[in-house]
Amino acid sequence: MNLNFRPWAAASVACLAALLCTPGFAQKPRVIEDSMAERTRACTACHGDQGRAGPDGYYPRLAGKPAGYLYHQLRNFAEGRRHYGLMIRLVDPLSDSYMREIAEHFASLHLPYPAPTPSQLKPEQLARGQQLVTQGDRALGLPACVQCHGERLTGAQPHVPGLLGLPLDYLNAQLGAWQTGQRRAHAPDCMAEVVKRLPDQDIIAVSSWLASQPLPANASPAAQSPQPSLDAAFRCGSAPELSMAGGRP
C-alpha cells in the first residue's frame, strides 16, 4: 500500500468535505428558469423536447409551425372543433393571450427535422400521392396541396401549416378525422371540403408520399401567403388571407 502523502488528493478531500458540510448542499437553492420552455413542460412531455415531435409517431411537431396555425389549434380544442381529452383539459384553463404566447413560443423554435421514413407503398400509389399533392385532380375538383401549403410544402405565415416532417400515422389520423367530422377548422372549413372530395384510397397515397419527403433546405414557412386561384367552396375561415387578393371570391 502506498501511503505517500499526496497534497492534491488531500486538497480534493478537504474541498469535498467543505462542500458537503455547507448547509446549502443538502437543499441547494433551486433555480427554476423563468421561460416559456419551462412553462410549457406540460406540452413537451408528449410533443417532445422543444416541441420537436413525440417519439411514438402520433404527437406532431410544434416547433417552427406558423404561430397563427398553432394558436388556432389551441382554440379548436377549447371550442370543440378538435377532440382529444388530454388537450382539452390542458387548454381549458388558459386565457386567450396565454394561448397566443404559447403558440408564438413554439413557432419561434427552429430545429432540424429528422430524416423522412421511406414508404412501404407501391410506387404507383406513391406517384398518385405525389400527383395529388403537386397537381391536384381536376376531374375530382381537388386543388393541389401546394396551392395553399406552399410550393415547398412548408406552410405559409401566419395560418397555413407545413405538411412535411409529420409522422405518417398523424397525417392519416388527421385526414381521417376530417373525413368523419372529428376534426374541424373555423368555418368555412376549406380542409373539410378538400377531404370530402378526396377518395378514401387516396388518403393513404397522399399521406405516405408526404411522410416520405425530405424537408427542403429552407424549412421555414413562407413569409408571404400564397394566393391560390380557387373557387368559393375553398374559402378558409382559419386562413382568410388565402382568398383575399388572388382568389376568385
Stretch in the footprint of another protein (CB under 8 A) among 72-80, 158-166, 196-204, 206-214: 72-80
By CB under 8 A, residue 25 contacts another protein: no
Number of residues that bind another protein (CB under 8 A): 27
In the complex with another protein, which residue's Cβ is closer, 85 or 118? 85
Query: What does the DSSP assignment read for 184-197?
Result: --SSS-HHHHHHHH
By CB under 8 A, residue 19 contacts another protein: no
| Dist CA 83 CA 181 (whole Å) | 10
Q: Which residues neighbour 65 within 8 Å (Cβ) at sequence distance 6 or greater?
A: 106, 107, 155, 161, 162, 221
The least distance separating another protein from the CB of residue 55, rounded to whole angstroms, comes to 12
By CB under 8 A, residue 73 contacts another protein: no
C-alpha of 49 from chain center: 13
Stretch in the footprint of another protein (CB under 8 A) among 32-40, 139-147, 158-166, 221-229: 32-40
The least distance separating another protein from the CB of residue 88, rounded to whole angstroms, comes to 8
Cis peptide before 158 (omega within 30 of 0): yes
Binding mask 100-139 for another protein (x = CB under 8 A): -x--------------------------------------
By CB under 8 A, residue 37 contacts another protein: no
| Dist CA 109 CA 62 (whole Å) | 9
Q: Which residues neighbour 235 within 8 Å (Cβ) at sequence distance 6 or greater?
A: 188, 190, 243, 249
What's the Cα-to-Cα distance from 244 to each of 86, 180, 249, rounded to whole Å?
A: 35, 29, 8
By CB under 8 A, residue 79 contacts another protein: yes
Instruction: Determine which residue in the list 17, 42, 127, 232 makes contact with another protein, applying CB under 8 A.
Output: 42
In the complex with another protein, which residue's Cβ is closer, 141 or 237? 237
> Which residue is listed with cell 400515422?
169
In the complex with another protein, which residue's Cβ is closer, 91 or 198? 91
In the complex with another protein, which residue's Cβ is closer, 7 or 85? 85
By CB under 8 A, residue 98 contacts another protein: yes
By CB under 8 A, residue 50 contacts another protein: no
- Helix orientation angle between 168-180 and 190-197, rounded to the nearest 10 degrees: 100
Q: Where are the alpha helices (DSSP H) in 2-150?
A: 7-21, 23-26, 36-39, 41-47, 67-78, 85-91, 96-107, 123-135, 145-149
In contact, 239 and 161? CB cutoff 8 Å: no
Stretch in the footprint of another protein (CB under 8 A) among 14-22, 25-33, 65-73, 230-238: 25-33
Give the interface with another protein as residue ranges (CB under 8 A).
27, 30, 32, 38-46, 78-81, 85-86, 89-90, 92-95, 97-98, 101
